[in-house]
Amino acid sequence: KGKELDDWQEAERLLEADEVLELQVSGYNSGGVTVAFNQLTGFVPASHLVDYRRGMSDQDKSDWLRAMPGKVLRLKLLEVSQSKRRLVLSQRKAERVYRRKRREELLANLSVGDVVSGKISSLAGFGAFVDIGGADGLVHISEISHEMVNDPKDALQVGEEVRVRVIKLDRERERIGLSIKQLLPSPWDDIYSRLFAGQVVSATIVNVAPFGAFARIEQGLVGLIHISRLSDHSVSHPSEVVAPGDTVQVRVVGIDAGRQRIALSMRDVPQDDGASDEGEGMETVAQEPAVVIDWVEGEPEVIA
């Protein structure tokens, strides 16, 4: 009795201190799982377990609960009543507290440039969230690959383990920016040994915008064919000339490796239906001078 009283008093202390504790699941019933707290038995309702899903079938719920005994859970006390002999705990609330503390620790200890391992926790149209050990960071869609990614689901899967570099830290807003791309070999590293102004190569159209078309020369290398360089005649919209998936012959007009920009042209370049593979050099011509492509308010500007 004396030991049991000590356990109730310890439970009261933990409840007031809002502490997270780790307990082993000792059993289950249709409503949740039981855990051993010294000589006391606590109860975790199914709705307070992190893997609980609304709408689970009775069979799925039964199978899931049956597999719980023996697992060690992080838990937070919700109710302690010695008179009613009630000891109710929550895994959901404990995980929220744990992740908040881990996030604070990570933000305090992380530095821009750090390389860490994590697991894809969720995907959105704008990028992927990566759990790097109790806190999520965002890999923006532009930081997934050197290759153009239209949808993160095409390149990553939830649960996939990845290595990421920390590229942004906002401790005030508790945000972590990550990059997968920066840890991958860059096709831009030796670009000038493979491409040069005036070279004609085969490319595949990957996207069409009002100001021009983007063409992939090789894996991870996409250049812009400005609308003024799509044809020898006037073009109102790039879709009049090309569509995604088309293979075309283009001339390299300018390369800016530092800003990762390649300017391309289809003007005065014969188009051959039996085009060679992407990136295969065809010939060298020089009808147009090399240019630099600049982006002004989201749209490219051709600067001679």
- 172-199 confidence digits (pLDDT tens): 888 999 999 999 988 888 899 889 999 9
CA distances from 162 to 103, 143, 153, 175, 210 (A): 19, 13, 14, 19, 36
Is 178 part of a structural domain of the chain?
A: yes
Is 158 part of a structural domain of the chain?
A: yes
Whether the per-residue pLDDT at 283 is higher than 60: the answer is no
Is 102 part of a structural domain of the chain?
A: no
Chain-wide mean pLDDT for the chain? 86
When pLDDT is cut at 50, 70 and 90, the band that residue 241 belongs to is: very high
When pLDDT is cut at 50, 70 and 90, the band that residue 9 belongs to is: very high
Q: Which residues of 202-214 are buried (b: 16+ CB within 10 A; e: fewer)?
A: bbbbbebeebbbb
Last residue of a domain, one of 52, 67, 97: 97
Please indicate whether residue 32 or residue 135 has the higher confidence score (pLDDT).
32
pLDDT at 286: 39
pLDDT at 287: 40
CB 49 within 8 A of CB 95: no
Query: What is the C-alpha to C-alpha distance for residues 265 and 271, in angstroms, rounded to an integer?
Result: 12
What is the pTM (predicted TM-score) of this model?
0.60
Q: By C-alpha distance, which of 177, 213, 219 is closest to 300?
A: 213
Asked whether residue 264 falls in the same domain as residue 170, the answer is: no
Residue 71, Cβ neighbours under 10 Å: how many? 11
Full residue range of the structural domain in which residue 28 is found = 2-97
Whether the per-residue pLDDT at 279 is higher than 50: the answer is no
User: For position 29, which CATH number holds?
Assistant: 2.40.50.140
pLDDT at 244: 94
% of the chain with per-residue pLDDT over 90: 62
Whether the per-residue pLDDT at 56 is higher than 70: the answer is yes
**Considering its fold, how many domains does the chain have in total?**
3
Is 296 part of a structural domain of the chain?
A: yes
Asked whether residue 299 falls in the same domain as residue 226, the answer is: yes
Is 62 part of a structural domain of the chain?
A: yes
Is 248 part of a structural domain of the chain?
A: yes
Whether the per-residue pLDDT at 118 is higher than 80: the answer is yes
Q: By C-alpha distance, which of 98, 94, 73 is closest to 15?
A: 94
Asked whether residue 89 falls in the same domain as residue 128, the answer is: no
pLDDT at 2: 67
Is 103 part of a structural domain of the chain?
A: no
Asked whether residue 88 falls in the same domain as residue 115, the answer is: no
pLDDT at 297: 36
When pLDDT is cut at 50, 70 and 90, the band that residue 99 belongs to is: confident
